[in-house]
């Protein structure tokens, strides 16, 4: 009998790809998602890719009764916790929603796990916890700070996990700090599907390439970077997903564990690098204007990847060409479906 992993937020962008690789690694997956930012049809797409439909419960990680029932009804061995809200701008408008979903959601889930005796937990943290980098590449011991409510919620949950780990034996916790996840499953069947106007660069670029949006606004070309535009460490979502399987395995092998690792490629690309790579992958022109800097943005950010390699034996392998080709396939297939 294969083990069952609870994946919260499993119909979302990263959770759906993690579900695919977990199933391919031999795990059974039970998804808990309230569908506030994803569609139930993702389950069909996962089934088409893997030949196996994940179990699904529509519910909220803040609903303690539902969680208790879930843990009672199935033998869950570990939890990968993706559920949460992630839009930086929106978090400044609706801070209470962010604390409620991201912090209260995590405390409720952890309390239910504790009661059920499930103590293996993989958490979606973010490179946003490094604030404005003092030095690059970013190592995991870089001082942490946050400039917006979303970032604060990640700091709070990271700290809470540390406190919990120290409070009693047996917890096996991984705090995974993602850099910039992009791309899609190579089948084109699952990918990133933002509601409304995308906040992030790659989905915006993809929508300009399909003609859904007229032009990209490049937020600033006067940063201290090679071409003046912002530099980020973009990581293919399938590489990111594999990093979770590696972290889960490492936790499961340990008696107790508190891991904090970057999941990035170690390479930074500028906004204009990404635009060019996307044009090459899609064969479409991506029109853009240079716009003012976006408030709160940093100039450059990329990961030191050594700790992830040493502790997990994991490295990202997909380059920006694959990131753009896979993102384009997903976007073009979605556009074709929409007619
Ligand atoms: P996403 O919005 O695509 O997926 C999140 C999923 O969680 C959605 O399916 C949504 O319906 C669900 N959800 C939200 N609140 C819920 C709740 N209270 N109860 C149950 N389900 C709920 O986002 P994503 O990009 O897949 O991000 C997953 C995680 O990774 C988030 O915690 C996010 O903060 C973190 N992260 C994402 C990025 C990124 O750039 N995408 C970067 C760093 C960290
Ligand atoms: N960016 C941009 N236009 C957009 C969205 C993003 O120029 O419409 C830039 C942004 O300023 C940053 C980079 O693209 O330099 C990545 O932004 P994203 O929001 O995707 O990620 P994050 O800022 O969280 O790293």
**What is the C-alpha separation between 68 and 190, in angstroms, rounded?**
30
3-state secondary structure of 122: strand
Each residue's pLDDT tens digit, 158-172: 999 999 999 999 999
Is the pLDDT at 297 greater than 80? The verdict is: yes
Residues marked active site are found at 150
Counting from 1 in the atom list of ligand 2, the atom nearest the Cα of 230 is 15
Ligand found nearest the CA of 269: 2
Query: 18 CB less than 6 Å from ligand 1?
Result: no
Q: Residue 1: pLDDT band by 50, 70, 90 thresholds?
A: low
**Architecture label for domain 4-183+234-265+304-317:** 3-Layer(aba) Sandwich (3.40)
Q: What integer pLDDT is reported at residue 282 of this predicted model?
A: 96
Query: 16 CB less than 6 Å from ligand 1?
Result: no
Q: Atom 6, ligand 2: which residue's CA is nearest?
A: 201
Lowest mean pLDDT among 140-144, 178-182, 290-294, 335-339: 335-339
Counting from 1 in the atom list of ligand 2, the atom nearest the Cα of 88 is 24
The domain limits of the chain are 4-183+234-265+304-317
Each residue's pLDDT tens digit, 112-170: 999 999 999 999 999 999 999 999 999 999 999 998 999 999 999 999 999 999 999 99
Q: What integer pLDDT is reported at residue 339 of this predicted model?
A: 77
* Rounded mean pLDDT, 259-263: 98
Q: Residue 63: pLDDT band by 50, 70, 90 thresholds?
A: very high
Q: What integer pLDDT is reported at residue 298 of this predicted model?
A: 94
Contacts of 269 (CB under 8 A, 6+ apart): 231, 232, 234, 277, 320
């Amino acid at each position: 009998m294969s083990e069952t992993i609870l994946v919260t937020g499993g119909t979302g962008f990263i959770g759906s790809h993690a579900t695919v690789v977990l199933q391919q690694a031999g795990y059974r997956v039970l998804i808990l998602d309230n569908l506030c930012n994803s569609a139930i049809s993702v389950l069909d797409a996962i089934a088409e890719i893997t030949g196996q439909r994940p179990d699904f419960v529509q519910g909220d990680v803040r609903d303690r009764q539902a969680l208790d029932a879930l843990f009672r009804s199935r033998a869950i061995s570990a939890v990968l916790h993706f559920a949460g809200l992630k839009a930086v701008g929106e978090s400044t408008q609706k801070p209470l929603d962010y604390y409620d979903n991201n912090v209260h959601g995590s405390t409720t889930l952890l309390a239910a796990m504790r009661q059920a005796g499930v103590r293996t937990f993989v958490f979606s943290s973010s490179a946003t916890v490094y604030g404005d980098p003092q030095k690059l590449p970013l190592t995991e011991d870089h001082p942490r700070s946050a400039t917006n409510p979303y970032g604060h919620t990640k700091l709070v949950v990271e700290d809470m996990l540390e406190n919990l780990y120290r409070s009693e034996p047996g917890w096996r916790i991984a705090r995974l700090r993602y850099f910039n996840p992009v791309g899609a499953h190579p089948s084109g069947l699952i990918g990133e599907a933002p509601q409304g106007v995308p906040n992030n660069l790659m989905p915006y670029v993809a929508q300009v390439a399909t003609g859904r949006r007229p032009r990209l606004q490049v937020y600033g070309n006067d940063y201290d970077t090679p071409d003046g535009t912002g530099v980020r460490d973009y990581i293919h979502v399938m590489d990111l997903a594999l990093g979770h399987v590696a972290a889960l395995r490492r936790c499961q092998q340990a008696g107790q564990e508190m891991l904090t690792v970057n999941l990035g490629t170690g390479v930074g690309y500028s906004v204009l690098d990404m635009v060019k790579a996307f044009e090459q992958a899609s064969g479409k022109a991506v029109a853009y204007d240079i716009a003012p800097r976006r408030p709160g943005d940093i100039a450059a950010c990329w990961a030191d990847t050594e700790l992830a390699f040493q502790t997990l034996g994991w490295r990202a392998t997909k380059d920006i060409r694959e990131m753009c080709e896979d993102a384009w396939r997903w976007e073009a297939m979605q556009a074709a479906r929409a007619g």
